[in-house]
Structure 1
Amino acid sequence: MTHFFDREQDRAYTRVYTQRTPDIQKAFGAFNAAVFAEDGREIPLKYRELIALAVGITTQCAYCIDAHTASAVRAGASEGELAEAAWVATAIRAGGGYAHGRLAFKLADEHRHDG
């Protein structure tokens, strides 16, 4: 999917949101600005950006990874912190596979008993 990623050219397509759903675009922009406000939050910005980076890695969104890596670095994140955020995302994805594997075993038992 990342071969579709073009940081500069892709921004031009924001115009579709702005032209077709300006109210939602404005609300989303305000929401995002509030979530990532530099001050006035319980969790310091650097940690919110590291959380966002981990979520971006988990969802495999190249745009989120790019934007939140840059924002985390600007907020003072070290290379080690970026690495740990990536490992947290990796652990969560692996844990999801582990947990869903258990669900498959449970469903297999149900299917065995159903028929």
Structure 2
Amino acid sequence: MGDFFDREGDRAYNRVYKAETPDILRAWVDFDSAVFASQGRDIPLKFRELIALAVGITTQCTYCIDSHAQKAVRAGASEAELAETAWVATAIRAGGGFAHGRLAFKLAEDAIVPVHQH
């Protein structure tokens, strides 16, 4: 993904959303603005940005990592908090692998040929 990431240049492609689906774009911008409003939420903005960063790391979205790391710092996050956020995301992603491994064992049981006992 890094080869395709261009922080400034990629924004030019917003023109397609603006031209083709301006109503959906507006709804999304309004929604995102409400979620990340600086005031009026129970979870402080710094923590919402750290949550978003953890999700971005977990989903490996370069754009989310870029945006929410910077916004978290602007909201007061320290490097230690960024580091812990990355480790939380890593633990959750690894936990998903562990849990889905159990699911693989469960689903594989369907392929087991029963042994006939006499």
TM bin (shorter chain): over 0.9
User: Shift of residue 30 of structure 1?
Assistant: 0.2
User: Shift of residue 41 of structure 1?
Assistant: 0.2
Aligned partners of 1:36 and 1:113: how far apart in 2?
Answer: 53
User: Shift of residue 113 of structure 1?
Assistant: 4.9
Number of the residue aligned with 1:28: 28
Number of the residue aligned with 1:83: 83
Residue type of the alignment partner of 1:41:
R
Aligned partners of 2:109 and 2:93: how far apart in 1?
Answer: 25
Aligned partners of 2:112 and 2:41: how far apart in 1?
Answer: 51
SS at match of 1:13: helix
Residue type of the alignment partner of 2:70:
A
Identity %: 72
- Superposition map of 1:65-76 within 5 A: 65-76=65-76
Moved over 2 A (4+): none
Residue type of the alignment partner of 1:43:
I
Cα-to-partner distance string for 1:29-82 (whole Å, 9 max, x where unaligned): 000000000000000000000000000000100000000001000000000000
RMSD: 1.0
Aligned partners of 2:71 and 2:113: how far apart in 1?
Answer: 52
Residue type of the alignment partner of 2:68:
H
Aligned partners of 1:59 and 1:102: how far apart in 2?
Answer: 21
Higher helix proportion (structure 1 or 2) = 1
Runs of 5+ unmatched residues, structure 1: none
Aligned partners of 1:12 and 1:108: how far apart in 2?
Answer: 47
Residue type of the alignment partner of 1:92:
I
State which structure, 1 or 2, has the greater radius of gyration over its C-alpha atoms: 2
Aligned partners of 2:6 and 2:12: how far apart in 1?
Answer: 10
Q: Mark the CA change 1:39 to 1:113 in structure 2 (over 3 Å): closer, same or farther.
A: farther
SS at match of 1:2: coil
Residue type of the alignment partner of 1:36:
F
Residue type of the alignment partner of 1:16:
V
